[in-house]
């Protein structure tokens, strides 16, 4: 349990000046995360507990623990799942070998892969059909990268993380190359890597529309909008959440210190010393309840004046798998 904050009416000295709290919009859950969580909840309703989930459905401990309480069991691999039990694949996507194994074992499985990640998977397939080698921009070891690279045969896709990796690529300038990207990257960093690829390989083929998802781009843009007016930016998100980490980096690139926290109990009161304005946002896997928890946590330390800074409104909704709607 997280330790409760002291009662805000008695805990703070009366002479503390008010703190302006700029809350970014959009923030928190994206359509892909909403869909993934709903898939697990609907599967529990349809099949009853337990429903197994391969890996974290999304990168958020609070969400995972909430689903566990409803009857979800999280596992690392399919061999931990009884043959007659339903299993859900996480929003980050899985290698082709995973659903193939589930089909071989005649398992009931539901794919919660974000449709925008699935779009990248299909792009990879089409590029391989055209005999092109794919340069994939992403973070090594991230589940989305593992899933995307698992859509093709070994040796058909090469991972790069930065400009230095581009410099080390062994391909000739006239080889048939294409690039794709992880959906949760820094917009600015990715553009630098793409520029390096296009400079070194003038004929490299890119996607018609950028692969970085709308939610990642919007949350980064919202932080850019408020960071310069803040003395500190707090991001609610998990340390293994790529899009949350990128939000901290966006703030810091603009010269504003950034802090990543999962719960309000992680706030260090010293962070607020000499601070007049704090920006607050949340990664795409963090629920709004945790944002409000952090607001209350800050208010227990300083009087707070809230203001929402809206970059854009999001109306994206993704359909559920057919198994849950028929």
CATH at residue 268: 3.40.1010.20
Q: Is 125 among the domain residues? A: yes
Same domain as 236, residue 190: no
Same domain as 196, residue 121: yes
d(CA 136, CA 132): 12
Q: Is 288 among the domain residues? A: yes
Tokens, residue 153: 């045969």
**Structure confidence at residue 158 (pLDDT):** 98
Same domain as 304, residue 220: yes
Q: Is 165 among the domain residues? A: yes
**Structure confidence at residue 93 (pLDDT):** 97
Tokens, residue 15: 């002479």
**Residue numbers in the chain where pLDDT is lower than 70:** 1-15
CATH number of residue 86's parent domain: 3.40.50.11270
d(CA 231, CA 250): 14
Same domain as 155, residue 74: no
Among 150, 172, 200, identify where a domain stops.
200
**Strand (E) or helix (H) holding 309:** strand 304-310
**Structure confidence at residue 209 (pLDDT):** 81
Same domain as 162, residue 147: yes
**Structure confidence at residue 3 (pLDDT):** 43
Q: Is 131 among the domain residues? A: yes
**Structure confidence at residue 4 (pLDDT):** 44
Same domain as 286, residue 249: yes
Q: Is 221 among the domain residues? A: yes
The residue from 125, 140, 144, 326 that is catalytic is 144
Same domain as 98, residue 43: yes
Q: Is 22 among the domain residues? A: yes
d(CA 240, CA 247): 13
Same domain as 123, residue 106: no
DSSP state of 54: E
What's the total number of domains in the chain?
A: 3
Same domain as 71, residue 139: no
Active site residue 144: yes
Same domain as 263, residue 190: no
d(CA 84, CA 201): 50
Contacts with 245 (C-beta within 8 Å, 6 or more apart), sequence order: 237, 239, 260
Q: Is 324 among the domain residues? A: no
- Among 113, 144, 145, 148, residue whose Cα is nearest residue 127: 148
The residue segments making up the domain with residue 153 are: 115-200
Among 200, 226, 247, identify where a domain stops.
200
- Among 73, 71, 62, 76, residue whose Cα is nearest residue 29: 62
Same domain as 137, residue 67: no
Q: Is 205 among the domain residues? A: no
Same domain as 108, residue 46: yes
**Structure confidence at residue 83 (pLDDT):** 86
Among 46, 81, 114, identify where a domain stops.
114
């Amino acid at each position: 349990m997280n330790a409760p904050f002291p009662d805000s009416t008695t805990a703070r000295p009366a002479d503390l000046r008010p703190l302006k709290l700029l809350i970014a919009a959009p923030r928190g859950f994206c359509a892909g995360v909403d869909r993934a969580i709903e898939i697990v909840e609907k599967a529990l309703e349809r099949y009853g507990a337990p429903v197994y989930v391969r890996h974290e459905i999304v990168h958020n401990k609070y969400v995972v623990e909430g689903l566990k309480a409803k009857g979800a069991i999280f596992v690392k691999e399919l061999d931990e799942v009884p043959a007659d039990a339903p299993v859900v694949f996480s929003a980050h996507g899985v290698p082709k070998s995973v659903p193939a194994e589930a089909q071989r074992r005649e398992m009931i499985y539901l794919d919660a892969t974000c449709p925008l990640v699935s779009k990248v998977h299909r792009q990879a397939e089409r590029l391989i059909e055209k005999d092109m080698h794919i340069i994939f921009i992403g973070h090594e070891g991230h589940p989305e990268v593992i899933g995307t690279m698992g859509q093709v045969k070994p040796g058909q896709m090469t991972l790069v993380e930065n400009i230095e990796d581009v410099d080390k690529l062994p391909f000739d300038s006239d080889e048939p190359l294409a690039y794709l990207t992880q959906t949760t990257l820094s917009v600015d960093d990715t553009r630098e890597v793409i520029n390096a690829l296009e400079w070194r390989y003038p004929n490299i083929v890119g996607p018609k529309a950028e692969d970085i998802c709308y939610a990642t781009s919007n949350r980064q843009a919202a932080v850019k909008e408020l960071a310069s007016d803040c003395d500190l930016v707090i991001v609610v998100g998990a340390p293994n959440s790529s899009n949350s980490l990128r939000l901290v980096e966006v703030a810091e690139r603009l010269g504003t210190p950034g802090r990543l926290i999962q719960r309000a109990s992680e706030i260090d009161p010293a962070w607020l010393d000499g601070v007049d304005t704090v920006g607050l946002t949340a990664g795409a896997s963090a629920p709004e309840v945790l944002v409000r928890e952090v607001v209350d946590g800050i208010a227990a330390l300083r009087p707070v004046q809230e203001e929402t800074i809206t970059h854009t409104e999001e109306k994206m909704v993704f359909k559920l798998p057919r198994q849950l709607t028929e």
